[in-house]
Structure 1
Amino acid sequence: MTGRWYERPNRIPWPPMIFAGVACVAVVLQHVFPPGLTLPPALRWLGAATMVIGVALDVSAMAVMHRHRANIQPHRAATALVTTGPFALSRNPIYLGNTLLIAGAGIAFNVLWFVPMAIVTAWLVSRLAIRREEAHLAARFGAAWTAYAQRTPRWLRLRR
């Protein structure tokens, strides 16, 4: 099989660039337009816990990908369709983990611009990377991808 989506989803590794860029924008916005709000310690602990969950999700997803010898770089061709571990809860656990990490950091460190920017990041990653990656996976893995995509949400299913 050949073709654009089969060979690789993107030419540029969009997700890491988006996450880093949006984090920089949030820091600048925090300095230029400070919200003037200090969160209570309990909320800041909740932010720290959210960060830990985000990192744990990232690390576990990367470990599962490593065990399956799956390529982790978003601009290279997929080498395996991973559907177990955190990938059974979300088709994009690394992007979800990174988004939780950014939002949690905003709350934990009282850099409140990180919270809305986490939402912007999720939207940008969906538009610039996930849709292309899904087309790539569909072309590469066919019916196995379709079955997986039907039973597993793009971001996260909170209820059954």
Structure 2
Amino acid sequence: MEKPDNAGVRIPPPLYFLSFLALGIWQSSAWVQGKIGSPYMLAVGTIITVVGAIFLLKSVRKHETSGTNVEPWKPTTALITDGLHKYSRNPIYVAMAVTYLGIAIAASSLVAIVLLFFCLLLIRIFVIAKEEAYLEDKFGEEYLQYKEKVRRWI
């Protein structure tokens, strides 16, 4: 039987981030009680969220202009090694984590901040590990050389 031309990721990565963030905010945040919370935390969190969102959009756009799919359950048609990918093999997940962190700070949710660690652990095990194995199989030495030069996160 022929292997499918994708990483075999079953759960969309944004769903991990959204689930953990929602759980954390639900467990501890003034937002759940209909309050805004600390204006300082809201301002800092908003700035961090905007920065993360900009990097996320930039990373997604890079996939589009490179002619490859951003979704890990679809085939990767090109190996991206420039732009933000010069600094991180996973700039989309870094951007999602920064965006998550910004929202958690804006919500003043310590629980959501702590849960980010567990979210990233699951992303590493159930998403990145599969993607890396797939890219090694598909692009061989080219991907292995890229892995040696560029860190997984930042």
TM-score by length of structure 2 reads 0.86
Task: After superposition, give the CA deviation of every residue in 1:67-125 in whole Å (9 maximum; x if it has no partner).
Answer: 10111111122111011111111111111111111111111222232211222111110
Match of residue 108 from structure 2: 110
**8 A contact 1:11–1:75 mirrored in 2:** yes
Runs of 4+ deviating beyond 4 Å: none
Compare 96-105 and 13-22 and name the one that shifted more. 13-22
Match of residue 91 from structure 1: 89
**8 A contact 2:68–2:76 mirrored in 1:** yes
Structure 2: runs of 5+ lacking an equivalent: none
How big is the alpha-carbon RMSD for the aligned residues of Structure 1 and Structure 2?
Answer: 2.1
Match of residue 51 from structure 1: 49
Q: How many pairs does the alignment contain? A: 148
Aligned partners of 2:68 and 2:45: how far apart in 1?
A: 31
**8 A contact 1:14–1:125 mirrored in 2:** no
Structure 1: runs of 5+ lacking an equivalent: none
Could you say what secondary structure the match of 1:102 adopts?
helix
Q: Percent identity?
A: 24
Listed as ranges, the matches of 1:1-160 within 5 Å are 3-4=2-3, 7-30=5-28, 41=40, 43-156=41-154
TM-score by length of structure 1 reads 0.83
